[in-house]
Amino acid sequence: MGLDMMAYSKARATSKNSRELSAWRKHPNLHGWMEQLYREKGGTEEDFNCVEVELTLDDLDRLERVVSHGRLPYTTGFFYGNPADEYYRDQDMAFIEEARADIKGGRKVYYNSWW
């Protein structure tokens, strides 16, 4: 068991066909940032587990600033593992660029996780 995370894009919000953009295993601080974003957008699920969050270009710009400055929020959880910001930094930045391209191409980008 553990924190599994992924980002993907879809041609439409209702589409079942998605394209994986990135997958992470136990990157708790990124997960914490995504949960904060979810709450800012009005998310109300008590457990941030198996919850889809749409990412916009503005969200990706904010995420890029946080990742590039090493400022993801320290996040803990029973299944989350240890902080892995340095380990995933290049992957995070590549994800941001790929997600931007998909959004600019008319797709919607989402983050989801399960633990």
- pLDDT tens per residue, range 20-66: 999 999 999 999 999 999 999 999 999 999 999 999 999 999 999 99
d(CA 55, CA 112) in angstroms, rounded, equals 11
Q: From CA 52, how far away is CA 49, in angstroms rounded? A: 9
Residue 114 pLDDT greater than 90, yes or no: yes
User: Cα separations (Å) of 57 from 42, 60, 61, 112, 114?
Assistant: 18, 5, 6, 17, 24
Q: What is the pLDDT of residues 56-95, one digit of tens each?
A: 999 999 999 999 999 999 999 888 999 999 999 999 999 9
The answer to whether the pTM exceeds 0.85 is yes
